[in-house]
Amino acid sequence: MSPLTNILPGFNRTSAACGDACAAENAQTVRPAYKVNETTDAYTVTVQLPGVAKDGLEITAEDGQVRLVGRRAWKTPEGWTSLYRETADAAYELVLTHDDAIDAEKIGAELRDGVLNVTLPKSEVTKPRKIAVS
Amino acid sequence: MRFIRYALPAARNFAPALGGFSRSAWSGLETEIDRLFETAVGGATAATRFPVDLYEDKANTFVRAELPGVKRADINVDLVDGVLNITAARKTPPAAEGQAEQTVTLSRSVRIADEVQADNVAATYENGVLTVTLPKRQEAKPKKFTVEVK
């Protein structure tokens, strides 16, 4: 991550491109911190989504893209005045583009303590194959 | 990405505050900006910092900290002399077999107004967000007196 986006969260923002309904709700989204790891048969993406519950999370896979939108479950209760803020109320949005070598049917996701683990299994076609010589 | 800081000419560092042209009018600002960059992006500081929000209502002060991926048992909250210290250890399981578990220690200190009942502080952790509730002392709460007009 660029240091600039660390200092100014605003630089991190991308506009939500999920239709009018979404845009009306909140146009600004924040890109969460994430990490991609590769193993022999899958890619694993670890995304930090503090404040997001299972219900507020949407993962869609289409056309070589995996889109992830996380809405925060917590809203400032009535009577609370904010004195100092470092976090944003905006939803998280992360779009990862891949080369279609992923088996979209078998994508798995697990959310625990604000950390999401997504497993993107590589499709059988692209896996290295051993050819028996006859 | 690494930040490479400019090495200032030594003469500027020793120049008297109001003397001559050697000292740039911006030098004070430059040091200030350098200092800010150091605290914001400098090495370990940035990696072990986490965002904190402060709220209050009539009876309590609240501190909310974003600490994703930390177990409840690994979070330590203490209040010493009006400073709330939050320390947490994030344990990442080994990426591959044979590698050791990675532990990152995160810590943050927040100065809290003095009027807190230190023995009644409570904390909850949900969805990767820690909420610390610090009840205000009785005398700190605004009291309302209604005076009857005769």
Q: What is the DSSP string of A72-114?
A: ES--PPTT-EEEE--S--SEEEEEEE--S-B-GGG-EEEEETT
Residues 99-128 of A with CB under 8 A from B: 112-115
pLDDT of residue A48: 92
* pLDDT of the residue at A70: 92
Best mutation site among A7, A83, A119 for testing chain B: the one with the most B CBs within 10 Å? A83
Q: How far is B97 from chain A (nearest CA, A)?
A: 11
Task: Measure A66 CA to nearest chain B CA, in Å.
Answer: 22
pLDDT value for A59: 92
pLDDT value, residue B97: 67
Answer whether A74 touches B (CB < 8 Å).
yes
Fold of A32-75+86-125: Immunoglobulin-like (2.60.40)
- Position A15 scores a pLDDT of 46
- Select from A4, A38, A44, A87 the residue whose CB has the most chain B CBs within 10 Å, as the one to mutate to test that interface: A87
**pLDDT score recorded for residue B137:** 85
How confident is the model over B57-76, as a mean pLDDT? 90
Do A115 and B127 contact (CB within 8 A), yes or no?
Answer: no
Q: Does A42 touch chain B (CB under 8 A)?
A: no
CA proximity to A3, closest of B124, B38, B130 = B38
Pairing of strands A115-121, A108-112: antiparallel
Amino acid sitting at position B111: R
Is the separation of the CB atoms in A113 and B69 below 8 Å? Answer: yes
Closest CA to A29 of A12, A52, A51: A12
Q: pLDDT in tens for each of the 134 residues of chain A?
A: 455 555 555 544 544 444 444 444 546 888 898 989 888 888 999 999 999 999 999 999 888 888 999 999 888 888 898 888 888 888 999 999 888 888 888 899 999 989 999 999 988 777 777 888 88
Q: Could B128 and A49 be called an inter-chain contact, meaning their C-beta atoms sit closer than 8 Å?
A: yes
The answer to whether the CB of B39 falls within 8 A of the CB of B98 is no
Bigger pLDDT: B100 or B47? B100
Q: Tell me, what's the pLDDT at B35?
A: 62
Please, what are the domains in chain B?
10-45 (no CATH), 50-140 (2.60.40.790)
Helix (H, G, I), strand (E, B) or coil at B38: helix
pLDDT at res. A129: 78
Residue-wise pLDDT tens digits, B108-143: 888 887 788 888 889 999 999 999 999 988 776 677
Cα B25 from Cα A108, distance rounded (Å): 58
Residues in chain A: 134
Q: Does A56 touch chain B (CB under 8 A)?
A: no
- Structure ipTM over 0.85, yes or no: no
Note the pLDDT tens digit of each residue in B7-66. Answer: 444 444 444 444 444 455 566 676 667 666 665 554 445 567 888 999 988 888 999 999
